[in-house]
Amino acid sequence: MSSNLNTSLERRLASKKEINEKQLEAVDASQFNLETKRSSDLTKIVGKLRQTLEKHRGEKQIVVIQDFPDPDALSSAWTYKLIAANYEIDCDIVYGGTLSHQENIALVRFTGLPAQRVEGNGLRGKDWSIYQGCVLIDSQGTNSQLYSAIEKARIPLIVAIDHHSKQKDLDAEFIDLRPQTRATATILTQYIQEGMLEFDNSNNEHVKCATSLMHGLRSDTNRLMQAKEEDFIAAAYLSRFYDSQLLNAVLQSARSRRVMDVIERALRNRIIKKNFSVSGVGYLRYEDRDAIPQAADFLVTEEDIHTAVVYGIVHNEKDDKELVIGSLRTTKLTLDPDEFIKQTLGKDTQGRFFGGGRYMAGGFEVPVGFLNGFNDNSEYTKLKWEVFDTQIKQKLMRLVEPEDNVISTD
């Protein structure tokens, strides 16, 4: 009896084991298929990029990154420039705003990163006809004031490489848009690994470029804490070439006093509702624009807070233009920053969204428009801020606490 039981139990266990093994094999096979699919996808993408660059051999291209470039954009654009040079394509990397974050200023200074600022005034007089093609890196043109001028000048969009959610349809010869990828630096590093550029340890420019890619990858993945396998693989590859002391020097750069003041203001003005921390910081100088995302980074570290939104009016003294600029940071996995910002603020009169996002971060820019411009009357300035502050808070709260706006049918 007991031996019967045992055999039947053994048989059952044996068949279960078989099923498990079969399942395991199936899992292995699908994982293997996934891996090979991924690498064959990448080979295809890189093949297409090679063809595209070959087709434009010897041309001059303008590489556009966001107005306030971050390390991911800067390092990826630089890598693209080095890759394109193999096809005798000469690239100018441009941005329409300013380098604001202390780490970005240090990165560009220490590495000699070849990016140029094109200001509003230079924009009008600029001769775009020297460029045969345009390239968008870590951007889809929506966060660049230069891009509309380039479109107007009818410079064809040749290449677009980005990891933000889709902002609009792009008519580019080569598009590599990967919203699931944490950093554009990861994408560019994969191109290098696929043989598009041969990094050489004894080449100073390569070492500096690898260092900036490492910085870009780290800063878009919250110091690798949100990195996925592909980012770690890219970082592992870069570790053979980058200069850790140089990276350390970039990361050590201190915040300016004015940035500290904005963070202090954000802390003081914050209101907290349902794990959201929202803060308006009033007016700030154009050069200190990056204090806003830094303040949001800080506010989201508070206990029981999963999402922080910080915004302020940025005043550009040079052209007397004002913009409301905001940043969102979240640790809530189910909150999609891109969707949240698009839903909160909607579109402008031309149908363009005021902002968007990527994994765990987002940003927006609202032109001040008719109310634009410095006014000696401090009462007016104060009123203007209050109008924008109230409007943004109201729109945010509608999403944070939707039940407050539900029309009661009782």
In the complex, which residues of this chain contact Mn ion (CB under 5 A)? 72, 138, 184, 220
What's the closest the beta carbon of residue 364 comes to Mn ion, in angstroms? 16
Query: Do residues 199 and 184 lie in contact, with contact meaning Cβ atoms separated by under 8 Å?
Result: no
Q: Calculate the alpha carbon distances from 176 to 162, 246, 282, 340 in Å.
A: 7, 30, 38, 24
Between residues 138 and 290, which has the closer beta carbon with respect to Mn ion? 138
- Evaluated on CA atoms 318, 320, 321, 325, the torsion sign reads positive
Between residues 72 and 389, which has the closer beta carbon with respect to Mn ion? 72
For strand 307-316 and strand 60-64, is the pairing parallel, antiparallel, or unpaired?
Answer: unpaired
| Residue 371 DSSP label | G
Between residues 67 and 220, which has the closer beta carbon with respect to Mn ion? 220
Beta bridge partner(s), residue 315: 285, 322
Q: Calculate the alpha carbon distances from 277 to 189, 297, 359, 387, 395 in Å.
A: 36, 11, 19, 20, 14
End-to-end CA distance of the chain: 69
Q: Calculate the alpha carbon distances from 8 to 13, 22, 26 in Å.
A: 8, 21, 27
Between residues 280 and 357, which has the closer beta carbon with respect to Mn ion? 357
Between residues 17 and 223, which has the closer beta carbon with respect to Mn ion? 223
Q: Token pair 């394509």 is at which residue?
A: 89
What's the closest the beta carbon of residue 144 comes to Mn ion, in angstroms? 14
DSSP assignment of 383-395? HHHHHHHHHHHHH
Between residues 206 and 358, which has the closer beta carbon with respect to Mn ion? 358
Measured distance CA(239)–CA(250) in Å, rounded = 16
What's the closest the beta carbon of residue 184 comes to Mn ion, in angstroms? 5
Those residues with Cβ within 8 angstroms of residue 309's Cβ, 6 or more apart along the chain or in another chain: 276, 277, 278, 279, 296, 326, 327, 328, 396
Quickly count: other Cβ atoms within 10 Å of residue 205's Cβ: 13
Quickly count: other Cβ atoms within 10 Å of residue 333's Cβ: 9
What's the closest the beta carbon of residue 294 comes to Mn ion, in angstroms? 16
Between residues 61 and 184, which has the closer beta carbon with respect to Mn ion? 184
Measured distance CA(331)–CA(307) in Å, rounded = 6
Residue nearest to Mn ion (CB): 72
Between residues 79 and 277, which has the closer beta carbon with respect to Mn ion? 79
Between residues 138 and 389, which has the closer beta carbon with respect to Mn ion? 138
What's the closest the beta carbon of residue 71 comes to Mn ion, in angstroms? 9
Query: Do residues 176 and 194 lie in contact, with contact meaning Cβ atoms separated by under 8 Å?
Result: no
What's the closest the beta carbon of residue 188 comes to Mn ion, in angstroms? 11
What's the closest the beta carbon of residue 143 comes to Mn ion, in angstroms? 11
What's the closest the beta carbon of residue 182 comes to Mn ion, in angstroms? 8
What's the closest the beta carbon of residue 92 comes to Mn ion, in angstroms? 20
